[in-house]
Structures are given as C-alpha cells and as structure tokens.
Amino acid sequence: MQEIHLGFHEVDKMNDTVNVFCPVLLALILSFVWLGYNLGIFKSSIKINDEKGVLIPSLFLLVSPFLFTYLFSIKIYDHIPEIVRSILPVATFMLGQFITKREKRKEANKKEKELANMLLVIIDQAVIDFLYRLEGKLMCVTDGRESFDFIKTYYEKYKPEIDADYQKIRNQAEILTIHAGVESVFYIKRVRDSLEYMYSLEPTPQNILHTLIEIRSLKLAGYENILILIKEVINNDVLFNRVIAKLKSERKRFLQIRESHDLYLNYWINRGENEYRKRQEANPYLGYNINTESQAINHIEDTFKFFRITDYD
C-alpha cells in the first residue's frame, strides 16, 4: 500500500511539474517568436530557396509525431485552461504590439506613396517635359532653324521652376527615408548641374551635339527614375506599363530620326566630294559623325533589359 501511495505521489509531482513547465515553455516560445520577428530572423529565412513553400511543412512533418506523442503522454489537454490563463497576458500584449506596429507601417506606406506620387509628378510633368522641349529646340539648332542664343534664353526662362522643384523635394525630409526618393533627389540635382554646365559651353557644333546627347540621356534617366518609384513604392502595374509604352514610342521616334539622318547623309556623300563639302559649309553639323540617336536607343534598350521587358515594339 505504501508503494501505491508513493506511486500516486510521484504522479502528482509530475503533474505539478507539467503545470509549471508547459506554460513556461509556451511563454518562452511566444517570446522567442516575437523577438525573432523584430530582429528580422524570419525575413532572413525567406531568402532560402524554397519556391514551392515546402520547407516549414516538411520540418513540421518530421517533428509532429514526437511532439504530439509527448503532449498526449502528459495529458496536455487536462491543463489547457491553466496554460491559457498563464500565457493570455503575454499573448494579448504581443497581439497589441503587432497590431500597433502594423498600423504604423500602413501609415508609413501611405506617406511613402504620397511622396512618391509627388516626385513622379515633378519628374514627369516638370523635368522630363522641359527636357523634351529643350531637345526639340536643340534639334532645330542642328537643322539651322534656330540659334543657340534662343536656347539659352529658353533655359533662363524655365530655370527658376526647376530650382523651385529641387528645393521643394529637398525640404521633404521623409523623402530621404525612401531609397527611390533619394535617387530622385540626386536625379533632379544632376539635371540642374548638367544644365548649368551646358549653359556655360561655347556654342560650337560639336558642343551642341554633345549637349543634345546629354539632354536625351537625362530625359531617359528621368523615365528610369519614375519606373523605380512605381516598382518600389507605388506598385501600380497600369502606370508602369504606361511609362514603358512612352519609352517604346521614344525608341521608335529615335529609330525614325536615325534613318532620316542616314538617308540625308548618304544622299550628299553620293553627290560627290565637292557637293558634300559645299553642303558641310551650309550645315556644319553634317561634318560631325556623332550618332546621337543610337546612344539614346541603346539607353532605352538597357532600361528594358533592367526591368525585364522583352517586347521592344
């Protein structure tokens, strides 16, 4: 009888141990999960090559027979109310923290999208639009329809607007927390600095042709910047495809200009050396073998490759 009594006593001691151990274990597990989430451990684990999502189910499949055998052996279901009471405060606190953090993240995402949209409007409707018109004016200079002095006057007229847009985004400190936002600030600064340098150049045919190349490069870089803003922050496929369509249209336009220039150049070369030289005197730009269109076409195609666009037409 004494042995039976001792046996029951041992069972009671084991039950007491379970009553203490299980809540502590579950609390530790929950605390570890919370800590791991905040430290980004689970984000790192996502980088594992698990395209079909079978890693975690496989691990659970291996562990579950031993886990459930142990839980049923100690009759865990008899202690569920006690366990719930023990871990409920911790679980409630964790849930509150998770909800608060999620709401803050939603607010941050909303603010980031507002800033990204503001940058998109400035780059598209102010900077790129100005560069597009400036490109057209420079092409008129190379064709002999405008003088370079007219270009300088045009730049002086719109320079204050570009400066104002640059100061506007510089004063938005939140922009600097977004990677694409920082790139946008640097882009607009690059446009300002490049235009200042171009303005100081002597209006020689070679300088004007190189200026045309740089203006086109800046314009296309603006489209790249917009695409990054859309991809990283705004997440709007319709808007992304619309910008890609603009780049396809630009590529088609440059191909047509290049073909026209090639036909024009070959026409005068075939007229003979004397005729060609006379035409060079009338149009000094004819003597510079600078293919401004091919560089722009290559720039666009590199952008397509970066964003994995296979259909160029």
- Percent of the chain topping pLDDT 90: 15
Contact call for residues 230 and 240 (beta carbons, < 8 A): yes
Q: Bigger pLDDT: 169 or 242? A: 242
Give me the pLDDT at residue 11, please.
Answer: 47
The residues, ordered by sequence, that sit 6+ positions from 57 with a Cβ below 8 Å of its Cβ are none
Tell me how far apart the alpha carbons of residues 200 and 198 are, in angstroms, rounded to a whole number. 5
Q: Is the pLDDT of residue 5 over 50?
A: no
Mean pLDDT over each residue of the chain, to the nearest integer: 76
Contact call for residues 133 and 192 (beta carbons, < 8 A): no
Q: Which two tokens stand for residue 200?
A: 């100081």
Confidence of residue 245 (pLDDT cuts 50, 70, 90): very high
140-159 pLDDT, tens digit per residue, is: 877 667 777 777 787 888 88
Q: What angle do CA 46, 51, 57 make, to 5 degrees?
A: 75
Confidence of residue 305 (pLDDT cuts 50, 70, 90): very high
Tell me how far apart the alpha carbons of residues 178 and 167 are, in angstroms, rounded to a whole number. 17
Q: Is the pLDDT of residue 287 over 90?
A: no
Contact call for residues 97 and 161 (beta carbons, < 8 A): no
Contact call for residues 165 and 188 (beta carbons, < 8 A): yes
Q: Is the pLDDT of residue 2 over 60?
A: no
Contact call for residues 180 and 228 (beta carbons, < 8 A): yes
Entry pTM: 0.67
